[in-house]
Amino acid sequence: MSWILILEQSLNGLQFGLMLFLLAAGLTLVFGIMDMINLAHGSLYMLGAFFAATLVQATGSFALGVLLAIPATALAGMLLEVAVLRTLYARDHLSQVLATFALILIANEVVRIVWGSDLQMTMPAALSGPVQLLPGMPYPAYRLLIIGVGLAVAALLYVLVAKTRIGMLVRAGASNREMALAMGVNIQRLFTLVFGVGAALCAVAGAMLGPLFAVQVGMGESILILAFVVIVIGGIGSIRGALVGAVLVGMVDTIGRAFLPHLFGLFLPPQFASAAGPAIASVLVYLLMAVVLFVRPQGLFPARG
């Protein structure tokens, strides 16, 4: 096993983890501030990808299409918040779970009616080749772009949350909802805004991953569960926890899939290793979650005391 291979797989893990972070960040804020479980978050990711695929085709420019898809998805998210989700904050979790599960069904069918079950999205031609990172180690340019965008958005989010007044309110809300409520100022508008930001982050993830995966109905359903795992690991309401959790999950998943079967092959009989390797690798992140839960039930970076 060469170092280059390990490095390359780590970059792949980082790329996946950063995209997971974009999803988990919005989700964890909504949890933290509104104490609301939103299963339809994955639908916003799907919507973002469909918007992006459509707009990239319509404008003929990848960058422009993606940039337009972000506010479009944010708007859709805020509309959803105002129309439906707002009434759910005060309700019990069961209602939230059911209503947002219903939203998934609705979103899937609406997308199917509007766009059909899937769309093609192509990456910009200039980025469809490799970049020579190190001697002997070319890396796909597009994946580097994803890593760059992920890091930039994470930094932006950090500045937004740590340095601005809105960020201060958001942090206060995440760590102490009653206090945020007591502050009273435009709390409703703050919620809508946070929701819009969450949706925008979904759109970034959906648009960036669109050319790598398929833009299709139901694309948000599996990745949503991984975002939950990230939040459980990172701690509800914590952006920092979401970042650490997401990168951890991305790394563990990618590296596990890449190396575990070989690792098992070193000290287990081959027929067992080839069966157990992929099986364990596929559940590795869930085992990680179980361990974190056992050691730190509130997650690695609990936002609340």
Partner 1 sequence: MKNRLLALAAGFAFTMLAASAGAADKVKIGFVSTLSGPSAALGVDIRDAFTLAVKLNGGKLGGLSAEILIGDDQFKPDVGRQLAEKFVKLDKVDFLTGYVFSNIMLASIPVAFENKVIYVSPNAAPSPLAGKQCNPYFFAVAWPNDAYHEAAGQYATQKGYKSTYLIAPNYQAGKDSLGGFKRFYKGKIADEVYTQLGQLDYAAELAQVRAAKPEALYIFLPGGMGINFIKQFVASGLSKDVQLITPGFGSDQDVIRPVGDAMLGLFDTSHWALDFDNPANKKFVAEFEKEYKRLPSVFAAQGYDTALLIDSAVREVKGKLDDKEAVRRALKAAKFASVRGNFKFNRNQYPIQNYVLRVVGRDAQGRLVNKTIATVFKDHGDAYVQDCAMK
Partner 2 sequence: MNARAAALIAALAAAVAFPLAMQAADQLFFVGFASRVLIWAIAASSLNLVLGYGGMISFGHAAFVGTGAYVSGILIAGGVTSAWIGWPAAILASAVLALAIGAASLRTRGAYFIMITLAFAQMMYYLMNSMKAYGGDEGLSLTSRAALGFGLDLGNEVTFYYVVLAALCALLYATHRLAHARFGRVIAAIRENETRAEAIGFPVYRYKLICFVIAGAAGGLAGALLASHGKYVSPSLLHWTQSGTLMIMVILGGVGRLWGGALGAVLLLALEHLIAEHPIPWLLAIAPNYPQHANLGVGIVMLVIVLYAPQGLAGLVSRKRHA
Q: Which stretch binds partner 1 (CB under 8 A): 7-15, 31-39, 75-83, 175-183?
A: 7-15
* Closer by beta carbon to partner 2, 23 or else 70: 23
What DSSP string describes 213-251?
S-EETTHHHHHHHHHHHHHHHH-TT-HHHHHHHHHHHHH
Determine which residue in the list 64, 110, 168, 181 makes contact with partner 2, applying CB under 8 A: 110
Closest approach of partner 2 to the CB of residue 60, in Å = 30
Residues 218-237 interacting with partner 2 (rule: CB under 8 A): 221-222, 225, 228-229, 231-232, 236
Closest approach of partner 2 to the CB of residue 101, in Å = 5
Residue 140, token pair as written in the block: 């796909």
Closest approach of partner 2 to the CB of residue 99, in Å = 4
Contacts of 255 (CB under 8 A, 6+ apart): 9, 10, 13
Closest approach of partner 2 to the CB of residue 123, in Å = 28
Q: Tokens 């949706």 map to which residue?
A: 199
Determine which residue in the list 7, 9, 10, 35 makes contact with partner 2, applying CB under 8 A: 35
Q: Which does 180 bind (CB under 5 to 8 A by kind): partner 1, partner 2, none?
A: none
Total Cβ atoms within 10 A of residue 267 = 7
Residues 267-286 interacting with partner 2 (rule: CB under 8 A): 275, 278-279, 281-283, 286
d(CA 167, CA 247): 23
Q: Coil, strand, or helix at residue 138?
A: strand
Closest approach of partner 1 to the CB of residue 45, in Å = 15
Closest approach of partner 1 to the CB of residue 143, in Å = 7
- Tell me the residue ranges of DSSP E strands in 126-262: 130-134, 137-140, 215-216
Contacts of 135 (CB under 8 A, 6+ apart): none
Q: Tokens 């952006």 map to which residue?
A: 239
User: What is residue 164's DSSP assignment?
Assistant: S
Query: Binding to partner 1 by residue 221, rule CB under 8 A?
Result: no
Query: Binding to partner 1 by residue 124, rule CB under 8 A?
Result: no
Q: Which stretch binds partner 1 (CB under 8 A): 43-51, 89-97, 120-128, 238-246?
A: 120-128
d(CA 281, CA 252): 9
Query: Binding to partner 2 by residue 179, rule CB under 8 A?
Result: no
Total Cβ atoms within 10 A of residue 12 = 21
The C-alpha angle 124, 128, 130, rounded to 5 degrees, equals: 145
Query: Binding to partner 1 by residue 129, rule CB under 8 A?
Result: yes
Contacts to partner 1 by CB under 8 A: 1-2, 4-5, 8-9, 12, 15-16, 116-118, 120, 122-123, 127-130, 138-143, 211-214, 216-217, 254, 257-258, 278
